[in-house]
Amino acid sequence: MYAAQFMAAMRKEMNVENLIRERNFQPIFNWLDRHVWKRASLVNTDKLLIESTGEALNAQHLKDHLISRYLG
């Protein structure tokens, strides 16, 4: 559920699918480094998620991902 929410937040800032298609992973790694990896040991998970994505854990992001992947 967390990964789906992080991905949704990344998609607001960049075209993740095009970056993956082009095998240009550095912008994705840079986002994860800034928003997740460098902060993960400093704050609790709930705070990290809010700081990284702008909202508390939201199951809708996982639901959207599953619908897109398996029904879309």
| The total number of structural domains that make up the chain | 1
From 68, 55, 67, 42, select the one nearest 2 (Cα to Cα).
55
Whole-prediction pTM value?
A: 0.91
Give residue-wise pLDDT tens across range 16-31: 999 999 999 999 999 9
Q: Percentage of the chain with pLDDT > 70?
A: 100
Reply yes or no on whether the pLDDT at 49 is more than 90. Answer: yes
Which structural domain, as residue segments, surrounds residue 37?
2-70
Could you give the CA distance from residue 18 to residue 65 in angstroms, rounded to a whole number? 17
Confidence at residue 72, expressed as pLDDT on a 0 to 100 scale: 83
Reply yes or no on whether the pLDDT at 34 is more than 90. Answer: yes
Confidence at residue 10, expressed as pLDDT on a 0 to 100 scale: 98
Confidence at residue 41, expressed as pLDDT on a 0 to 100 scale: 93
